[in-house]
Chain A
Amino acid sequence: MYKYLLIAMITFLGFSQLKAQKDRKINFVGTARSLMNSNYLSVRDSIPDTASVKRNDGGYALVDLGVNIKPNKNTEILGMFRIRNEFGGFWGSGVSFDVRQLWVKGVVANALRYQLGDLNLKQTPFTLFNHHADQIDSMPEVFNLQRNIVSYERFYMNNNTWRMQGANVDFGLSFSKYLKEINVNAFLTRVNATNFTSVPDRLMSGYTIQFVQSKNLQLSFNSNHIFDVKGTVANDNLFKSSVNTIDWKLKRDLARKSFLFGGEIGQSHYQYTNDTLAPDLKDYFVHAYAQMSIPKWNLTGTIGYLNVGPDFRSIGAQSKDINYNAVPVYFDRYTNDQRIRPITLFDVVGNENIYNRTITTSLMSENQLFNQVLPYGISTFNRVGGYAKIQYKNKKGIDITSQYYKLNEIRGQGSFALRDMSIFKLNASVSINQLIKTKKLIALQVGTMMQTTNRSSDQSIENMDLKSNQYTLGFRWELFSNFELMLGYILQQNDGHDYLPTRNGYTEITYFNRSDYQVKQELAAAGIRYNFSSKTYLCVLYQQSKFTDKLNISPGFSINQFGIIYNITL
């Protein structure tokens, strides 16, 4: 009797604890960061620069404090506000308060999931997708410190989503025969709010219906529409852009090899309802690939075909994360003439000012210094060709990936001749510590990317030839427990010339500007980091960047930066 009483008591106490944990309705979530930096600019110009600010210090400390409320097991609310104080602000000066995010998510009738408020959305690479097209694939870890901060600030989540505001629902249906399940996702977001006079409300809606026949076969219908809402302003000229696609994946395992055949095809329609000047753009795309994995050899190979029509427009997929017209946060002007400083590697790596949080409905400018072939990722219009990838990745920490793209234009731009383009990428990372069997991390990563664009025409003025080469080198060494030395170097060279199109608001080309390049950019950094955990670290960092334009179209300059970053993330 006594024994049974004891067992009952233990069981009761155990479950009461469980219930207490489960029933906590309000929790706090938080992230904090402190960043201080000191920057120095030196200008190499024929006229000594006596007008520019050469040094600046800055930084901030911020807390993102969220209240996570679970009124019941099917509902969750997050309200997060940000408190930020600028470095140097004493006794309350330089303080700002913002609402960082607010959303609610839940399950209705045990079947339908919904989310309302701030969302991170993506569909397919041709409908809604953040390609991060200009980012460096094998970014040395020392530079990732800053890039991760940018990603956090812009809600990039490292998964190709775009931050939107609206509503999202998804539900699934399961079957016992012929079909395993059907998953449906639909969303409606607001892209632009009306100004009640000339700018209408602009919304984006989309849905994906995914048919999963089995774990080996799935087929999806995807649709993405951006449209102006009639009646929100007096103007009856409404914008509409729609993209409809079908994508598929078929897997097979044969002879100890895995095969995947996949692809996506679709069409787009871009129009204004009542604008005689606006073009009515309709086009299609085809993307198909085959992948083979040989686990025994740790190899995966892919070949693919890409055909994206010259009038294919997909705002959700062709929005760029970097706005090259934005003002850099450090030293926005330089030289005695106070020119606008060009955006360089230094900014691309760590300047959140130039990054977009969400999609933009106008076609954003490309920057040939960083991406001359696929500035909008694989959804870049006016491209046809093929690509191949091969990856070797073993359990001893060796990962080598090589990619090659060979593409042409479909329609000439300013010429009947077509551009030939190619990209070659090779990235390798080695965990040396695994090879030599030590516990402390030693890792090396190298990468290269070569882009070429050329065009030969009967009219010599139309000829163009542009080469871009990028090399990266990164090294990490865990000197003491959780103490890491990080080194990184990026070299980028652009040589040649090209004709960059100037487009109007309808994405039509109105002019061409010849751009000549003999540009060299270097970025080197060294840092020491202490890792409190995988996401919390304190780092001291020194970075040097150098921009050289042999043609002196933009005078050369160097920016040296010393920084201290303390990042606490849950």
Chain B
Amino acid sequence: MKKIGLFLLFVCSISFQRLMAQDFNDLTVKESDTSLYDEVIEKIGSNFKKPLEVLENFQISGYYRFITNYRHLDEAYPHLANNKNNIFVGDDSQIPQLMLNIAGYTSSKTSFGTDLFMWTPMTGIGEKENVKGLNLGISLYGNFSTSVGNFNVRTGGINWYALSPFTFQTAKGNNRYSIFERNPWDPNTAKVETRYSDFYNAGAINQDQRWGNQAFQGLIVEGAQLPHNFSFSAMYGKTQFDGGLSAIPNTSYGGRIVKSSIKNQNFIAFNTFNNNSRVDSLSSTKAGFNMLTLESTYFIKNFKLYAEVGAGRQFISNNTSNWGEAISFKISTDIKKKFPTELHIYRISPNVFNNSSVFINSSIQQTVSASNSQTQPVLIPVSSAMLPIGQISNNRQGIELNTQINLGKLKNSIGYGNAMELDELSNKLTYSHAFNNLALSRFWRWDFPSEVGPYKNLNKIYRSVFETIYITETDAITGKPLYKKYFNTFELNSKYQTKLLGKDLFLFYLGTFSSVQNNAAPFVVFSEKALLRSYSHQFETYLKLNARYVWTNYVGLERVLANYNTVTDVVSRRPKNQKGFSIATGLDIQLSKGVGLYLRERWMKYEDMSFANDRYKGFESTVELKMFF
């Protein structure tokens, strides 16, 4: 009894404290002139009648990231001939040096947030050069519950969001990538080796909130737990592809309605995403696109069936294209409970255009169909692209097979892709250079220029560069190729963990083999019958030296070969014959909790045996200090 009484007394004392604390706040409002505040409504002079209401819950978090590169080129592209040694402080792909995430909670239902960044380029000028700004901007949030469901609202700044793959999403790929170079958004991990152990164990690393999502600015409303297991989302605003400060109307809108199953994860959804832009200053000419799909996931025994079927079209002025089909069908299963496997079949008409979806546009000239008021000069390849498995394109149909085969400690992620164009629209082929993609993208800072490089065939996109070659067998009048193109890709990502001198050692290999040819083939074509062949090998090792240090190493090899049905060099009269080699080493150092230092030293050598000016050789040193708070 005594103990119960004591416990009750203790609970009452806590309650009493809170009650008294509330009452005391009210007492700060006083009438007399001896206090800061007064209750009288009509008062001469200055009018501050009562204390300001404060944000009870106000949070600031963020990170500091210092990154600098030093690059030396023994052989450089012409535009760098006078800048063979280059020091750059910062990350032009994502500026923030100090990033603050500020959140204020005005109630349990409403809040706002913004980020704020600061950056000092350290050019010696001082504070005049310093940069401040917002990255994602200001967002307002709200949620409320009603008898018919729960609703969330987001509006204002940029939110990372997704609908379905064909409507509003980015390609997630199949987690086959090199993790040697760090992304700006990569976190520090509690243990220095977690990034590599996660990649080995889970097949993926911790990704930022943007993974698989697209940037959207405007209003997003979501409803969940609606009657009959419905949910919905609706969005109205701008994407980064139709962003811009011009008052000329340029908006995107869409949403989805989902009916979910109570018993399992089955669902069916209707999705739509549309863009309506005006392309002239008088806002008289319209351009845009529409996309409508039905999406469903169905589990049957050990199989997961996923399908998205829909149609899309684009329009400019009074010209509206016909609707084109967009189909994606996936079957996933775990064969013998050992080999997770997924088969993906897809077909996307050349009439379908949506620059916010998982498929890239290779059929429609972007400058014609979209608004010209973009602030994000991201050039989307408008040609036939040699794509990694998991990245699809319109004007194409194909099949992809992905599986995971683990042999003891050796884990292998294997991908096979086979696709073809639907219409022969473009005589251009594009591809990228995996072995040195990031370092190559740093040859051009700040902007995303296209048609640069010694032969004006390189195009920079976000943290990457793609190269364009031209097919020569084209119709003399239309300029279109005489045949459709066929694409084959094979990827192997192997991971192995062992110990070396008692230390954890992770070994990763990523091999990518791709070919483009003018006839169907069951597998990657390794002969000159292929218009273009690309082979790359990337080896990485990560040795955990101790609790604070990981020694990282990388070797990359690449061969790209075109045949004589592509443009040849005027001097050598030979088609592309490119070799790339890169070797790098580095250290991940955990300086203290939440503080990481990352060093990378990369040597690179690249040359095209046929196009003599297309070569570079040198090294790049990178130092990154990142700390979270």
Contacts and interface: CB of A to CB of B under 8 A. Distances in A.
A in complex with B: yes
Contacts of A61: 137-140, 155-157
Most buried by A among B45, B155, B251, B375: B45
Nearest to B244: A88
Interface in A1-37: 6, 9-10, 13-18, 20-22, 27-30, 32-34, 36
Interface stretch (A92-100, A309-317, A380-388, A423-431): A92-100
A488 B529 CA distance: 72
A390 interface: no
A113 interface: yes
A110 B248 CA distance: 58
Given A56-B247, A61-B139, A89-B375, A29 B36 contact: no
A90 B375 contact: yes
Interface string B239-283: 010011111111100000000000000000000000000100111
B282 A30 contact: no
B17 A170 contact: no
Interface string A285-308: 000000000000000000000000
Most buried by A among B106, B236, B281: B106
Interface string B1-36: 000001001001110111011001100000011111
Contacts of A283: none
Contact of A33 (B109, B140, B218): B140
B82 interface: no
Given A28-B55, A57-B247, A172 B47 contact: no
A20 B17 CA distance: 11
A74 interface: yes
Contacts of B156: 32, 34, 61, 85, 566
Q: How large is the interface on A (under 10, 10 to 19, 20 to 34, 35 or more residues)?
A: 35 or more
Given A36-B218, A90-B215, A536 B106 contact: yes
Interface string B52-93: 111100100000000000000000000000000000000000
A113 B40 CA distance: 15
Nearest to A33: B140
B236 A564 contact: yes
Interface in B122-166: 132-135, 137-140, 142, 144, 146, 153, 155-158
Contacts of A210: 44
A34 B54 contact: no
**Interface SS of chain B:** mixed
Interface stretch (A62-70, A348-356, A456-464): A62-70
B104 A65 contact: yes
B478 interface: no
A570 B54 contact: yes
B618 interface: no
B45 A536 contact: no
Contacts of A30: 55, 58, 104, 106, 112
Contacts of A38: 249, 251
Contacts of A76: 36
B452 interface: no
Contacts of B16: 10, 14
Contacts of A20: 21
**Interface SS of chain A:** strand
B438 interface: no
A564 B134 contact: no
A345 B98 CA distance: 46
B482 interface: no
A408 interface: no
Contacts of B144: 482, 530, 532
A427 B155 CA distance: 36
A287 B542 CA distance: 88
A208 interface: yes
Contact of A161 (B47, B102, B133, B217): B47
Q: How large is the interface on B (under 10, 10 to 19, 20 to 34, 35 or more residues)?
A: 35 or more
Interface string A90-114: 1111110100000001110011110
Contacts of A63: 102, 104, 112, 114, 138
A117 to B, nearest CB: 11
A220 B218 CA distance: 53
Given A120-B47, A481-B146, A107 B35 contact: yes
A257 interface: no
A83 B134 contact: yes
A290 B303 CA distance: 86
Contacts of B18: 17
Contacts of B318: none
A54 B140 contact: no
B153 A32 contact: no
Contact of A83 (B58, B110, B116, B218): B116
Nearest to B246: A88
Contacts of B53: 29, 570
A242 interface: no
B237 interface: yes
A211 interface: no
A123 B107 contact: no
Contacts of B319: none
Given A28-B54, A32-B104, A32-B112, A89 B137 contact: yes
A30 B13 CA distance: 33
Interface string A151-189: 000000101010000001011100000000001010100
A86 interface: yes
A78 interface: yes
30 contacts: A10-B12, A17-B17, A18-B17, A27-B54, A28-B54, A29-B52, A30-B112, A33-B140, A53-B248, A55-B249, A63-B138, A76-B36, A87-B218, A88-B217, A90-B217, A90-B375, A95-B133, A105-B36, A107-B36, A111-B33, A120-B48, A122-B47, A532-B144, A533-B109, A533-B110, A538-B153, A566-B140, A566-B156, A568-B106, A568-B140
Q: Considering the complex of A and B, which 8 residue pairs feature the smallest CB-CB distances, nearest first?
A: A61-B156, A185-B45, A32-B112, A56-B247, A92-B133, A34-B156, A27-B54, A10-B13
